[in-house]
């Protein structure tokens, strides 16, 4: 007798629909792009808090939990940046199929890199959020002191200084943090995603 016949009701890995049903939510990938210090992680944390208060299960992915773990063997060469995003997108796909809403905080500086992520994840599940903060403001904030180091030549190929940032041409959400608070930014994203992640 084959394995299938032995366990007729347990013959496959449970699918996305069953997990979304269990969690009572529709999964989604929220992809935040923007300069270092633009506010991606700060807004993601505020957004995650709001979502969790409403009963949604989420996972924030950022450089801290990805580059130190699954991608700790990758640097910042063109090849490594591509591999970095490929792995991140594949991790997103796993969460997506587990019914979970992921919030990504990666500079992801080029259109090509973001298109690569969109292609792996699937366009209909991918929501692009441009954390649209002018370089001058990011540099004034200089949360991690990285701009100072980049200006001093201690860090090479730093996005916005000596490496380009290609702004999204048509983002799903454009968040202008120079004009609004962290709380308002999280609310702006929440308003757009709530109808998509709420089960009818
Ligand atoms: P990123 O993840 O994009 O590198 P961070 O979230 O680490 O950026 O840093 C953004 C910094 O800017 C934080 O110190 C945050 O408190 C500050 N900040 C000030 N105003 C805003 C705003 N309106 N939205 C987001 N962050 C803001």
Of 33, 41, 42, the residue with max ligand 1 atoms within 8 A of its CB, to mutate for a pocket test, comes to 42
Taken in order of first residue, the domains within the chain and their CATH numbers are 3-197 (3.40.50.300)
* Per-residue pLDDT tens over the stretch 6-56: 555 667 889 999 999 999 999 999 999 999 999 999 999 999 999 999 999
For residue range 46-98, list pLDDT tens digits in order.
Answer: 999 999 999 999 999 998 889 899 999 998 888 998 899 999 999 999 999 99
Furthest C-alpha separation in the chain: 70
> How close is the Cα of 169 to the center of ligand 1, in Å?
22
177 close to ligand 1 (CB < 6 Angstrom) = yes
Residue 92 to residues 100, 118, 132, 136, Cα–Cα distance (Å): 9, 10, 23, 32
Q: Which atom of ligand 1 is nearest to the CA of 36?
A: 4
């Amino acid at each position: 007798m084959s394995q299938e016949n032995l366990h007729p009701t347990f013959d496959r890995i449970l699918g996305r629909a069953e997990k979304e049903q269990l969690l009572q939510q529709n999964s989604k990938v929220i992809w935040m792009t923007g300069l270092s210090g633009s506010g991606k992680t700060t807004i993601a944390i505020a957004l995650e808090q709001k979502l969790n208060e409403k009963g949604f299960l989420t996972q924030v992915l950022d450089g801290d939990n990805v580059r130190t773990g699954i991608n700790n063997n990758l640097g910042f060469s063109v090849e490594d940046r591509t591999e970095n995003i490929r792995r991140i997108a594949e991790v997103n796909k796993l969460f997506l199929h587990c019914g979970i809403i992921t919030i990504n905080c990666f500079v992801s500086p080029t259109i090509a890199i973001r298109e690569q992520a969109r292609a792996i994840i699937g366009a209909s599940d991918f929501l692009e959020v441009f954390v649209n903060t002018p370089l001058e403001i990011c540099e004034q904030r200089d949360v991690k002191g990285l701009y100072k180091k980049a200006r001093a030549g201690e860090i090479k190929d730093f996005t916005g200084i000596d490496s380009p940032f290609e702004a999204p041409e048509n983002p799903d959400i454009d968040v202008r943090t120079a004009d609004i608070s962290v709380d308002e930014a999280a609310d702006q994203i929440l308003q757009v995603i709530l109808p998509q992640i709420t089960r009818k």
